[in-house]
Amino acid sequence: MVTLGIDIGGSGIKGALVDVGKGELVGERIRIDTPIPSTPENCANVINQIIHHFNYSGPVGVTFPAVVKKGVTLTAANVDKKWIKFNAEELLRQVTRLPVIVLNDADAAGIAEIKYGAGKDVPGTVAMFTFGTGIGSAFFNDGTLMRNTEFGHMLIRGKDAERRASAKVKEDKGLSWKQWAKRVNEFLVEIDKLFTPDLIIIGGGLSKRFDKYGKFLKSQAKIVPAHFLNDAGIIGAAMAASELEK
């Protein structure tokens, strides 16, 4: 089955058709800058553009960088505050006139990695962190997802972890890979204390540069890059949407 997955981020909205039976993108993905302001209505219009680009008709999976429960976005860390306590699924279904499911972005990425990627068949506790505009998190215990963990907002030195160690912070402050990894390690120390994960998967925009900083990261767990790199969210979104037809 080929299903459309769309990943809303703080800087860009990405979409691609996905063969959900294989966990593979079908053709090239499209990326459009996240609109300013990033209101629900403006983002919905971009999602509609992506759907029309692919001339697609079917269920759509959409990820969002916040806590999502039953299609309602409860928080909004790196997008417009109008998303807070907003029924995103209802709006997107009205705008697109298609079946839509909305889920947390890191959860979606983790779903893809557990099913087909770096976390496949790994027992115990698997943690996935996506480093982009913020830091997303997804936790699995023997393959079962604990939704909406949002550990990017854990306090490190009095600040949200993502305000110290996101990919955006690295870029904005001009940090070297080693300097940035030192900040990430402060975050991983706390994760180790709380969860002692068996495997940590690094996703998001910086996953493709893992060779530059992976050697500096420290944890009791094995640390690996996401198999699907920054496409994991798209694939996980499509996988979730494919369930709408069952």
- CATH label of the domain that carries residue 24: 3.30.420.40
> CA end-to-end span of the chain, whole Å?
12
Q: Indicate the number of domains in the chain.
A: 2
C-alpha–C-alpha distance, residues 151 and 165, integer Å? 12
* HEC assignment per residue over 72-117: EECCCCCCCHHHCCEEHHHHHHHHHCCCEEEEEHHHHHHHHHHHHC
Judge whether 187 and 162 are in contact, CB under 8 Å.
no
Is residue 168 domain-resident? yes
- Report the predicted TM-score, pTM, of the whole model to 2 decimal places: 0.95
Are 129 and 90 in the same domain? Answer: no
Are 99 and 129 in the same domain? Answer: no
SS3 164: helix
Are 62 and 160 in the same domain? Answer: no
Phi, psi of 11 (to 5 degrees): -115, -25
Are 24 and 84 in the same domain? Answer: yes
Are 223 and 124 in the same domain? Answer: yes
CA distances from 133 to 111, 130, 148, 167 (A): 20, 9, 17, 6
Are 79 and 146 in the same domain? Answer: no
Are 13 and 100 in the same domain? Answer: yes
Is residue 74 domain-resident? yes
Are 69 and 153 in the same domain? Answer: no
Judge whether 12 and 33 are in contact, CB under 8 Å.
yes
Are 141 and 205 in the same domain? Answer: yes
Task: Write out the chain's pLDDT in tens, 246 residues.
Answer: 999 999 999 899 999 999 999 999 999 999 999 999 999 999 999 999 999 999 999 999 999 999 999 999 999 988 999 999 999 999 999 999 999 999 999 999 999 999 999 999 999 999 999 999 999 999 999 999 999 999 999 999 999 999 999 999 999 999 999 999 999 999 999 999 999 999 999 999 899 999 999 999 999 999 999 999 999 999 999 999 999 876
> ∠221-225-229 over CA atoms, to 5°?
150
Is residue 196 domain-resident? yes
Is residue 113 domain-resident? no
pLDDT value of residue 244: 87
Is residue 184 domain-resident? yes
Is residue 143 domain-resident? yes
Are 186 and 155 in the same domain? Answer: yes
Is residue 63 domain-resident? yes
Contacts of 89 (CB under 8 A, 6+ apart): 70, 71, 72, 100, 101, 102
Kindly state the tokens that stand for 220: 């009791």
pLDDT value of residue 246: 65
Are 102 and 128 in the same domain? Answer: no
Are 80 and 139 in the same domain? Answer: no
Residue 135 structural domain: 119-227
Phi, psi of 59 (to 5 degrees): -70, 145
Is residue 111 domain-resident? no
